[in-house]
Amino acid sequence: MQKNIIHVMVVEDDRDEAELIGTLLTTAKIPEVSAEAFRVSYQTTLRGAMAEIAKEYVDVILLDLNLPDSGGLDTLIKLRGEAPSIPIVVLTGAYDRKLAIDVLHRGAQDYLIKGKSDHQLLLRSVRYSVERKRAEEELKRIQTQLIQAEKMKSVGRLAAGAAHEVKNPLAIIMMGIDYLTRKFEGPDEKTKMIMQQMKDAVLRADYVVKGLLNFSSLKDLDMKVTNLDEVLKESIALVRHAMEKRQIGIVTDFDPHLPMVKIDRSRIQQVFVNLLTNAEESMPDGCQLTVKTYAKKVESGSSVGYRTEDHFVPGQLSVVAEISNTGPAIPEEILENIFDPFFTTKRERGGTGLGLSVAKSIVDQHKGLIRIYNREEGGVCAAVFLQPVD
């Protein structure tokens, strides 16, 4: 759909009536609707209407129930079955109270009587139907989001429970391995290797458990006013060794006037380490990774708005840290899954798929945003938006 243009499909077999409706719409001079233009297309049969919605975006349908190939409520039921998301305004010849109620029950947005609809009535009905339908769709989207959020909460609770159960046995195994290592004076190479393998396996399990506990963290944050550049420098220091091994250079571009943020330093550091590690893992040897900070007004997007669950209002200032890497793009079809716990494309390399879900849960706790997208010039950018201290 083109911005501000409403595509109205008039389904009416009486050509004069259809043209009249078209003229009323396209010559609208009413101030409240003049910002929007209408594009009107015409169909005279139900079959024609169905063919048009199959190939074109239609914003609203004005529907005469009695057509050459279908009659009465059946026409509405069939068309709605084909296009449940397009608002339909029913046109009838005469007022019939029962029919009016029936069509509304069957999902029509409104009911108009032919010949009795002036400019204003017609325009208002079309515009309100489109808006009401949009509001319904928005409500549906929010409900889906809420269900998703609830799902994540229960995953978090389950994970926390499992992690607590596993933590203590792991600690006991680790102590056992340490004891046995000390007990064996000068063990042979094979025993030494097995001991080391056992230790590595326990450390890895411990890493997963810590990740799960962090993801579902019920602990309070230790919030302090902090300079984000400092936290980034510390995080880079933690991954520098791994980068140097692969001759990956790190270019920094820090804003010297960056507003301060109020954060839990160690947790945000963990976010950056996770993002830096992801960047490193997807870059070819010898390339450069860029870390940048700046202040920016947040534009629209998910979690930006005026609802209580939104973290930013549009146009609000945010402190941004951006980690960009060269390398392959993330395939479109997995972009929406990368924040899911245990989603990984690096299973065979030992990836757990917890890095981004932990990062997102920490950033959410800070009422911030995290966005990961494919850059036009290739590679990936991960941006974290945090609240500046007022």
To Mg ion, the closest distance from the beta carbon of 352 in angstroms equals 8
Give every CB contact of residue 242 below 8 A, 6+ residues apart in sequence. Answer: 277, 280
Residue sitting closest to ligand ATP (CB): 355
Count of residues that interact with Mg ion, criterion CB under 5 A:
2
Rounded to the nearest angstrom, the gap between the alpha carbon of residue 355 and the centroid of all alpha carbons in its chain is 18
Q: Which does 88 bind (CB under 5 to 8 A by kind): ligand ATP, Mg ion, none?
A: none
Q: Which segment (192-200, 227-235, 255-263, 352-360) binds Mg ion by CB under 5 A?
A: 352-360
How many other CB atoms are found less than 10 A from the CB of residue 42?
Answer: 19
Do β-strands 317-325 and 288-297 pair in parallel, antiparallel, or remain unpaired? antiparallel
Q: Which segment (56-64, 273-281, 289-297, 307-315) binds Mg ion by CB under 5 A?
A: 273-281
To ligand ATP, the closest distance from the beta carbon of 372 in angstroms equals 6
361 counts as binding Mg ion under rule CB under 5 A: no
Cβ nearer to ligand ATP, comparing 153 with 346: 346
355 counts as binding Mg ion under rule CB under 5 A: yes
* Contacting Mg ion within 166-195 (CB under 5 A): none
**Which amino acid is present at 39?**
R
Cβ nearer to ligand ATP, comparing 270 with 357: 357
∠ at Cα 323 (321, 327), nearest 5°? 165
Cβ nearer to ligand ATP, comparing 181 with 345: 345
To ligand ATP, the closest distance from the beta carbon of 278 in angstroms equals 3
- Residue 237 exposed, middle or buried by CB count within 10 Å (0-12, 13-18, 19+): exposed
Give contact residues for ligand ATP (rule: CB under 6 A): 274, 278-279, 282, 325, 330, 338, 343-346, 351-357, 380
Taking the C-alpha atoms of residue 128 and residue 259, their distance in angstroms, rounded to an integer, is: 44
Cβ nearer to ligand ATP, comparing 316 with 345: 345
Taking the C-alpha atoms of residue 155 and residue 347, their distance in angstroms, rounded to an integer, is: 20
To ligand ATP, the closest distance from the beta carbon of 357 in angstroms equals 6
To ligand ATP, the closest distance from the beta carbon of 375 in angstroms equals 10
Rounded to the nearest angstrom, the gap between the alpha carbon of residue 143 and the centroid of all alpha carbons in its chain is 14
Cβ nearer to Mg ion, comparing 278 with 324: 278
Q: Which does 129 bind (CB under 5 to 8 A by kind): Mg ion, ligand ATP, none?
A: none
Name the token pair of 130: 């489109």
- Closest-CA residue to 110 (of 68, 70, 155, 76): 76
Taking the C-alpha atoms of residue 265 and residue 386, their distance in angstroms, rounded to an integer, is: 13
To ligand ATP, the closest distance from the beta carbon of 40 in angstroms equals 46
- Closest-CA residue to 174 (of 146, 204, 150): 204
Cβ nearer to ligand ATP, comparing 270 with 344: 344
To ligand ATP, the closest distance from the beta carbon of 211 in angstroms equals 7
Report helix angle 46-55 to 73-82, nearest 10. Answer: 20
To Mg ion, the closest distance from the beta carbon of 359 in angstroms equals 8
Taking the C-alpha atoms of residue 366 and residue 387, their distance in angstroms, rounded to an integer, is: 8
Q: Is 37 helix (H, G, I), strand (E, B) or coil?
A: strand
Cβ nearer to ligand ATP, comparing 125 with 344: 344
Q: Which segment (4-12, 159-167, 270-278, 360-368) binds Mg ion by CB under 5 A?
A: 270-278
* Cβ atoms 40, 22 nearer than 8 A: yes
To ligand ATP, the closest distance from the beta carbon of 292 in angstroms equals 15
To Mg ion, the closest distance from the beta carbon of 274 in angstroms equals 6
Taking the C-alpha atoms of residue 196 and residue 198, their distance in angstroms, rounded to an integer, is: 5
Cβ nearer to Mg ion, comparing 261 with 275: 275
What are the angstrom distances between the C-alpha of 237 and each of 230, 240, 251, 319? 11, 5, 13, 21
Q: Which does 40 bind (CB under 5 to 8 A by kind): ligand ATP, Mg ion, none?
A: none
278 counts as binding Mg ion under rule CB under 5 A: yes
Q: Which does 117 bind (CB under 5 to 8 A by kind): Mg ion, ligand ATP, none?
A: none
Q: Which positions lie near Mg ion, rule CB under 5 A?
A: 278, 355
